[in-house]
């Protein structure tokens, strides 16, 4: 079952960033049509939906745009067509978000934390977010992704 849209409810930012990594070329650049093909995204202009989502990730500092360059399209409809496009590349921040890990000890501590400790953790997290400027939006979005998908029964 392919995706019909590319909203936060459909796919998390972290998943999008990992797809970018999956389809990127040797220089680390991915292209909107390749992402759309990889996800088999529906709709009339799937690559535009991808570009829109990726543009927001650029704004949040997780991606950067490359220079305009020639490339050969690989999607079924336009296979073989040569076009000029600007790619999308993970920034160091984007890469750290995509592959970020918790140690086993950290995971265990969070799993065992009582409500008071979780509350204080949340307070510490929101305090950190205040000082992170634009990039805090990505943390906020990850939180909303988790909450919204549960609410919608996904």
Partner 1 sequence: MSATLNGSHAPEAAEALALTVEERLAAQAQSLEDMLGPIEARKAQLEAELSDLSADELRINAAIEALTGRLPKHLTAPTRKASRQSAAKPGTAKYDKVSEETVERIYAYLKRQTEPTTVPEMRMAEELTDVGDTSLHSAVAALRNEGRVRLTGVKQLSYEDGSPVKGKRPNAYEVMPNES
Binding residues for partner 1 (CB under 8 A): 1-2, 11-12, 14-15, 18-19, 22, 38-40, 98-102, 111-116, 118, 142, 146, 149-151, 153-154
Q: Least separation, in Å, of the C-beta of 115 and partner 1?
A: 5
Shorter beta-carbon distance to partner 1: residue 68 or 115: 115
Q: Which is nearer to partner 1, 81 or 118 (CB)?
A: 118
CA atoms lying within 13 Å on the CB side of residue 8: 16
The CA dihedral of 145, 97, 84, 69, to the nearest 10 degrees, is 170
Element (H, E) at 66: strand 63-72
Question: Toward partner 1, which CB reaches closer, 24 or 130?
Answer: 24
Which residue reads 């409810």 in tokens?
Answer: 9
Q: How far is the CB of 32 from partner 1 (least distance, A)?
A: 14
Provide the minimum distance between the beta carbon of 87 and partner 1 in the complex, in angstroms, as a whole number.
Answer: 18
Helix (H) or strand (E) holding 21: helix 13-23
Burial class (CB in 10 A: 0-12, 13-18, 19+), 30: buried
Nearer to partner 1, 69 or 121 (CB): 121
Q: Two tokens at 76?
A: 């079924």
Least distance between partner 1 and beta carbon 67 (Å): 26
């Amino acid at each position: 079952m392919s995706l019909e849209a590319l909203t936060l409810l459909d796919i998390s930012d972290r998943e999008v960033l990992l797809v970018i990594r999956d389809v990127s070329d040797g220089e680390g650049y991915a292209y909107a049509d390749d992402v759309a093909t990889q996800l088999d995204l529906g709709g009339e202009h799937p690559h535009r939906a991808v570009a829109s989502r990726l543009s927001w990730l650029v704004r949040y500092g997780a991606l950067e745009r490359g220079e305009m360059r020639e490339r050969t399209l690989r999607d079924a409809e336009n296979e073989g067509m040569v076009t000029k496009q600007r790619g999308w590349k993970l920034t160091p921040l984007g890469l750290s978000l995509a592959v970020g890990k918790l140690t086993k000890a950290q995971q265990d501590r969070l799993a065992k934390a009582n409500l008071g400790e979780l509350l204080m953790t949340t307070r510490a997290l929101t305090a950190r977010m205040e000082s992170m400027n634009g990039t805090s939006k990505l943390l906020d979005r990850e939180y909303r992704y988790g909450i919204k998908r549960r609410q919608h029964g996904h």
